[in-house]
Chain A
Amino acid sequence: MDFSSLPLLSITTFLPVIGALVIMVLRPKQTKTAYGIGIAFASLTLLAAIMIWIQGIGSSLSQVEELSWIPSLGIAYRLGVDGISFPLVLLTAFLFLTSLIFSAKIKDSANIFIQLVLMLETACLGVFLSLDLFLFYVFFEITLVGMYFIIAKWGHEHRKKAALTFFIYTLIGSLFLLLAFLALYLFSDTNTFDIQQLITNPTITGLAATLTFWGLFIAFAIKTPLFPFHTWLPLAHTEAPAAGSAILAGVLLKLGTYGFIRFPLQMTPDAFREFAPYVIVIAVFTALYGAFVALAQTDIKRMVAYTSVNHMGYLIFGVAIAAVTTTTSGMIALDGAVLQMISHGVVTGVLFLLVGALQDRTGTREMNEMTGLLKTYPILSGLFMLAAFASLGLPGLAHFPAEFQIFLGGFDVYPVAVGIIIIGLPITTALYLRAIQKVFLGTLPEGFTGLKDLGSRELWAIVPLILATILIGVYPDSLLSMIHATTNFFGL
């Protein structure tokens, strides 16, 4: 089909914020109406994203939309997609829709909550679609403001501290990003912020390239996060409302990992190759550290949060492998890393929603205070176990094809590092099995009267994500063919 007359990328990006404006103008009194509007616009966004897919995702950056903005500085409004960014656009549209459905129970200042979530969705889509450093930065920063207010207003007991830590910490990261972007601009031949030009013709070299690489590294390492820049993550993930955590882990962390691929890997490739061994050491350490610390948690939400750190370690390991080697193994690792972004978004997103549902019923996140819930909540327990198996990398579920490719690609270049990083797998297996054992198995304490099992609102949010988990696990090629076309085009 041909929609080429429509600026589909801009429509996708700005549909959510139009929804927010509609809510601002109509000021619906009923929270149901407000959620109706929000969910309708989130669905339209997903639809528009699918139309981009039908239009055809090229191997290079395509469907470019460009408008003049600040010509004196070589800044323009430029959007475009390729096989790396489109899966993330799809993930964003999908995860925001399900998170919004899941949060329909939030009644406190619901209008503002929905508006913030929709604004955040526009900002995230904008980050993935931007083809201009300046525009990218604008969207990148707006995500911080949106997330700050979501955590600070609708979070749990330590929400204000968590929100401020998140805001300041990630702001430091993005300010390093700003400096790196300015360096890329000043050292480019034509003084431009155009991402396409900077990728096809990376002119920055020498010390400037090294400093720029480390600026980008710090920025994205904080966002991803990698050890030792991860300390904001457990606090923010634990204190945010369930949908906030799902979005935070599912989409916002991907801003960092996507950045690693789009900027250091494509714009300062030589510097990345030179320093890749350091990055690999950090990634391996991050993966193991995340796994071990997750093992030590008694708060189930914190545990899931730390498994994110573990998965991000694998992911950056894959990217670093791609930076080192130009052979097919680098490409395989990069394919895995991109797929890992999607798998992690879907799986961890659904895990946080399930933990939220669990907390709504038991009133606690402490695993020691929960036991024997399988009989009372068979559906919730079943879905949680499935998502947990996906997260620990069981074949047939979403994480397996991604991590398998990362390890396969890495084995060719750094077999020892793979041997070490793979220790993370049994540890995550152990911690999930222990959690399942504690929370769902055993006997229910006497006198426990909880709510009913998952309701239709929760099922509408969770089941699509579970289906996606299975789909990616069984048929990863649905996304991999698109991803591979682009990584192949990189010619690494």
Chain B
Amino acid sequence: MATDLLNISPQLIVLSTTVIVLCLEMARLPRAALWALVVGMLTATGVAVDMLGTDTTAFSTTFRVDALSLWAVIILGPATILFALLGRSELKDSAREGTIYSLMGFSALGAMILAGSGDLMFIVLGLLISTLAGMAMAAHPRNDPSSEGAMKYFIYGSVAGAIMLFGLTFWAGLAGTTLISGINNPDLSSYAVMFGFITLVIGIGYAASLFPVHFWTPDTFEGAPVSIAAYLSVVPKIGALFALAQVVRDLPVSLVDWPLILAVLAALSMTFGNVVALWQDNVIRLLAYSTIAQSGYYLLGVIGVGQSTLAIDSMVVFGVAYLLMNAGAFAITLGEGTRLDDFKGMGKRRPWQAVGMTIFLLSLVGMPPLAGFAGKFLLFGAAIESGYSWLAVVAILNSAISLAVYMRIVVPIFFQEAEDGQIRTYAPGTSFVWISTLALTIAAGIGVQWFLG
């Protein structure tokens, strides 16, 4: 019991931090709540870094303490801090500002539980904690667009979650246990296992905004505050995809050809996300479709699980990269405005931010030597090593389309004249986020070695 608790100490620290943050909010001390969140998340991250290399389980193998769950803490802890700082910049002095920080903490906890799931119940639990908190955050402004977005997120979540739960009962019934490892038995009925897997993909795909359960994404992102959209684009997604990796690790290919199912989904997500993004005039919606596409790339790493030595490394590196470049792009969007027109003339107005935004977008395309390139490089490698070269070809063609998508933001920045109008300012938190993520986007691209197991 004591070792079990010690093994999940990062998650426990996050839980207690979040409770403290909630109490501070009840005392109406939003600033203190923010600082408590920062300190708590840094502590959890530090503990997780210290534990790297551990590979064990806790509580009768229901929770896995391995590279995936530890890296989830190392990625999502700092992620929560970055998005909380963005939230502070955007929502400072709004009513119930502090609730955002505690909800971010809870949602991150859900994602961290997902990433270490060794039991189907943890997947259900993690998904619920992670997305329910997200719904509350999305509704924070209490106006029509945000309520509509949160409502869509909620209803989609309820339906997807219910379907998943229904399907997983088949798995539990077949295997006689809710442990994920119970499914690792070639004698089970292939059809029932396949049904369970498809419902699982629906539940996970919803949180990760995978095609075809992505429909909530653009509306929820557009209605929510920019900082919350940024949070939703990163934290639940990474948790959900890591959970998927935990499941397929134990799923025999002889029962379900899961790599093929995921490969088809990956191809559809990438293509749909990138092609629809070409038509968006709102930067948040454009980035929303881009996250759908990025989820597709991310599946290349999941497909490699068990077949490629690069799989786990690629998921970790792409997770880090995705957090950095997405947080940076959203931060600058928060500073500049959400319409494409708001970016006009930015190259003259704010040259450093303009270069920063260009670097974030080029990193999203996968340009070396940036972090996004390192991530995609490993993802493509994992796909080829797993025998999915055709998917790697689809992915590179999509990278070319995505260049056209992101250039739609770069062109007004450098080659169009500014419109008259009020120029927004950058809050200190926003500046901190884009500058630090910019430095790390470049540093992580060059120093990939640090993230490799």
Instruction: Say yes or no: A152-B414 contact (C-beta < 8 A), given A72-B452, A179-B380, A179-B389.
Output: yes
Majority DSSP secondary structure for residues of B touching A: helix
A residues 157-174 touching B (CB-CB < 8 Å)? 160, 164, 167-168, 171-172
Does B121 touch A at the CB level, under 8 Å? no
Interface flags, A70-88, vs B, CB<8A=1, else 0: 1111000000000000000
A137, A138, A172, A211: which contacts B396 (Cβ < 8 A)?
A: A172
Instruction: Tell whether, in the assembled complex, residue B415 and residue A152 are in contact, meaning their CB atoms are under 8 Å apart.
Output: yes
CB-nearest residue of chain B to A159: B415
CB pair B403–A145 under 8 Å, yes or no, is no
**Contacting residues, chain A, for B27 (C-beta < 8 A):** none
Q: Does A69 contact B (CB under 8 A)?
A: yes
Contact A179-B368, Cβ < 8 Å, known A70-B448, A72-B452, A164-B404: no
Q: Is A167 a contact of B369 with CB atoms below 8 Å?
A: no
Interface of B with A (CB < 8 Å)? 313, 362, 365, 367-369, 373, 377, 380-381, 384-385, 389, 392-393, 396-397, 399-400, 403-404, 407, 411, 414-415, 448-449, 452-453
Contact of B368 among A70, A71, A142, A211 (CB under 8 A): A142
Cβ–Cβ contact B396 & A145, under 8 A = no
Inter-chain contact B449/A72, CB cutoff 8 Å: yes
* Nearest opposing residue in chain A for B313, CB measure: A72
In the bound complex, do residue B392 and residue A137 qualify as a contact, i.e. CB atoms below 8 Å apart? no
Residues in chain A within 8 A of chain B (CB atoms): 69-73, 134, 137-138, 141-142, 144-145, 149, 152-153, 160, 164, 167-168, 171-172, 175-176, 178-179, 182-183, 185-186, 211
Q: With A141-B367, A160-B415, A186-B384 in contact, do A171 and B399 touch (Cβ < 8 Å)?
A: yes
In chain B, what residue has the closest Cβ to A177? B396
In the bound complex, CA of A95 to CA of B384 (Å): 39
Whether A69 pairs with B449 at a CB distance below 8 angstroms is yes
Give Cα A306–Cα B414 distance, bound, in whole angstroms.
30
With A71-B449, A171-B403 given, is the CB distance from A186 to B385 under 8 Å? Answer: yes
Assembly CA distance A137 to B381 (angstroms): 14
Residues B400 and A171 in contact, CB atoms below 8 Å apart = yes
> Which of B362, B380, B399, B400 has most A Cβ within 10 Å?
B400
Instruction: Name the distance in Å between A188's Cβ and chain B's nearest Cβ.
Output: 13
Cα A172 to Cα B399 in complex, Å, equals 8
CB-CB nearest in chain A for B310? A73
Q: Is the CB of B396 within 8 A of A185?
A: no
In the complex, what residues of B have CB within 8 A of residue A175's CB? 396-397, 399-400
B392 / chain A contacts, CB cutoff of 8 Å? 179, 182
A178 to B381 Cα, complex, angstroms: 9
CB < 8 Å neighbour of B380 from A72, A144, A145, A182: A182
For residue B384, give the distance in angstroms from its CB to the closest CB of chain A: 5
On chain B, the residues within 8 Å of A171 by CB distance are 365, 399-400, 403
Output the nearest chain A residue to B411 by Cβ-Cβ distance. A160
Contacts of A179 in B (CB 8 A): 380, 384, 389, 392-393, 396
Q: Give 10 nearest A-B pairs by CB, closest first.
A: A175-B396, A138-B368, A72-B452, A172-B400, A70-B449, A182-B381, A138-B369, A141-B368, A171-B400, A182-B384
CA gap between A19 and B367 in the complex, in Å: 23
Contacts of A145 in B (CB 8 A): 362, 367
Q: How far is the CA of A164 from the CA of B384 in the complex (A)?
A: 29
7 contacts between A and B (CB under 8 A): A71-B449, A134-B377, A142-B369, A164-B404, A178-B377, A179-B384, A183-B389
In the complex, what residue of chain B is closest to A73 when comparing beta carbons? B452
Known: A73-B452, A182-B377, A186-B384. 6 other contacts (CB 8 A): A72-B452, A137-B368, A141-B367, A149-B414, A171-B403, A179-B396
- Residue from A167, A168, A171, A172 with most neighbouring chain B CB atoms (10 Å): A171
Say how far B360's CB is from chain A's closest CB, in angstroms. Answer: 14
B381 touches A186 (CB 8 A): yes
Question: How many Å lie between the Cα of A186 and that of B313 in the bound state?
Answer: 15
Closest to B450 in A: A70
Contacts A138-B369, A175-B396 known; A168 to B403 CB distance under 8 Å?
Answer: yes
Beta-carbon contact of B415 and A70 below 8 Å: no
Q: Which residues of B are found within 8 Å of A152, using beta-carbon distances?
A: 411, 414-415
Selected from B396, B397, B407, the residue in CB contact (under 8 A) with A178 is: B396
Determine whether the beta carbon of B396 is less than 8 Å from that of A176: yes
Give Cα distance in the complex from A168 to B367, angstroms: 12
A160 to B410, CA, bound (A): 11
Within 8 Å CB of A186, what residues of B?
Answer: 381, 384-385
Looking at A144, A175, A178, A185, the one whose CB has the most chain B CB atoms below 10 A away is: A175
Q: B355: shortest Cβ distance to chain A, in Å?
A: 10
**A142 proximity list for chain B (CB < 8 A):** 367-369
With a CB–CB cut-off of 8 A, which chain A residues contact B403?
Answer: 167-168, 171
- Give chain B nearest CB distance to A17 CB in angstroms: 13
* Cα–Cα, bound, A149→B354 (Å): 13
Residue of B whose beta carbon sits closest to that of A69: B449
Among residues of B, the one whose C-beta sits closest to the C-beta of A138 is: B368
Chain A contacts of B415 at CB under 8 A? 152-153, 160
**B411–A185 contact, CB under 8 A?**
no
**Among candidates B368, B381, B389, B400, residue contacting A185 with C-beta atoms closer than 8 Å:** B381
Question: How far apart are the CA atoms of A179 and B400 in the complex, in Å?
Answer: 14
Q: Are B397 and A172 in touch, CB under 8 angstroms?
A: yes
B384 surroundings in chain A (CB, below 8 A): 179, 182-183, 186
* Shortest distance between the CB of B174 and any CB in chain A (Å): 36
Nearest residue (CB) in A for B392 is A179
Chain B residues in 8 Å Cβ range of A164: 404, 407
**Which residues of A lie under 8 Å from residue B377 when comparing CB positions?**
134, 178, 182
- Pair A153/B452 contact, Cβ less than 8 Å: no
Q: Which of B373, B381, B407, B452 interacts with A167 by CB under 8 Å?
A: B407
CA A211 to CA B393, docked complex, whole Å: 12
In the bound complex, residues from chain B placing their C-beta under 8 Å from that of A71 are: 449
A contact residues around B399 at 8 Å (CB): 171, 175
> Which residues of chain B come closer than 8 Å to A141, judged between CB atoms?
367-368, 373
A137 / chain B contacts, CB cutoff of 8 Å = 368
Judge whether B452 and A70 touch: CB under 8 Å. Answer: yes
Q: Which residues of B contact A138 (CB under 8 A)?
A: 368-369, 373
